[in-house]
Amino acid sequence: MKKLLVFSLLTFLVFAGFANTLVIKGSNTLLEVSQMWVEEFSKTNPSVKVTLEGAGSSTGISALLNGTTDVANSSRWLKDTEVQNMISQKRWFAPVQIAWDGIAIVVNETVPIKNLTISQLKDIYTGKVTRWNQIDPNLPARDIVAFSRNTASGTFEVFSEKVLGSDKLSPRIRMLESTMAEVETVQKTPYSIAYMGVGYVTDKVKVVSVNGILPSKQNILSGKYPLSRPLFIFIDVTNGWPEEGPVSEYLKFVMSKKGQEIVEKAGFVAALGQ
């Protein structure tokens, strides 16, 4: 009987420990707001051990596929290949739209420009134009130093879809691992340009309008801004929707009034347009 009690206690502790962990991986765009969510969530759920990583949307979805995360943050929809992998494994992932975002185009202060069209952005990022005065003869006759997120980034995927279409990114474009690296690099690099989630824009860089439209809250929410996009959390619902436990409680918090206020505080637009 004593051995049975010890075994039962150990089993309880193992499962209790597992049930009180929450692993979140994915989008670098959502990293900062997720850090804010986790900080607040942990205040009311101190027994839940939360692990958060932000290495790109593709990384998060891959982790969901291989079972190494509970929550996948993503700044894009699932790719066809990811859907096929999910189906082949007889798994089912559910999306929860948690915010709206606009991919902001930013330049260094040395670039005296206020607007770029989608066509001009495509010319820059495919390498068709390489100097600012090719965009406008009144701009400096200086090389365009263009930066991009890496290919694991959902922001890269959405930018490619909306701007490049079927064309390829020029090998001239310099790839960066994080959005924060983009902000810091554009600030320090004369005649540079980059793109990033609007929540990461600071006064260290200058935002330009796209097709004459700025990424304001109203323009993003209405879809008027041409680089608007939804932001998601994906969870595994193969065994049904989580009605209790850390994943359920975390989702409830993210979509609560407090959670959506944090979205706005982080510089994004609340999912319900609060």
- Residues 155-206 have pLDDT tens digits of 999 999 999 999 999 999 999 988 899 999 999 999 999 999 999 999 999 9
Strand pairing class (228-236; 145-149): unpaired
Exposed e or buried b per residue across 78-101, where buried means at least 16 C-beta atoms within 10 angstroms of its C-beta: beeebeebbeeeeeebeeeebbbb
Query: Phi then psi for 67, rounded to 5 degrees?
Result: 75, 20
pTM: 0.85
Pick the CATH number of 2-100+229-270 from 3.40.30.10, 3.30.1330.20, 3.40.190.10, 3.20.20.140: 3.40.190.10
Strand pairing class (228-236; 115-116): unpaired
Residues 106/196, Cβ–Cβ less than 8 Å: yes
Name the DSSP class of 273: -
Reported confidence tier of residue 274, pLDDT bands at 50, 70, 90 = low
**Closest alpha carbon to 101 in 231, 205, 212:** 231
| Chain-centre distance for alpha carbon 87 | 24
- Residues 217-233 have pLDDT tens digits of 999 999 999 999 999 99
36-42 average pLDDT score: 97
The answer to whether residue 14 scores a pLDDT higher than 50 is no
- Residues 135-151 have pLDDT tens digits of 999 999 999 999 999 88
* First-residue to last-residue Cα distance in the chain: 58
Q: What is the pLDDT of residue 4?
A: 43
- Residues 17-35 have pLDDT tens digits of 445 999 999 999 999 999 9
Pick the CATH number of 101-227 from 3.40.50.620, 3.30.450.20, 2.120.10.10, 3.40.190.10: 3.40.190.10
Q: Which residues pair with 228 in a beta bridge?
A: 102
- Shared fold status for 2-100+229-270 and 101-227: yes
The residue to which tokens 């323009």 are assigned: 219
Q: What is the pLDDT of residue 12?
A: 43
Q: Where are the domains of the chain?
A: 2-100+229-270, 101-227
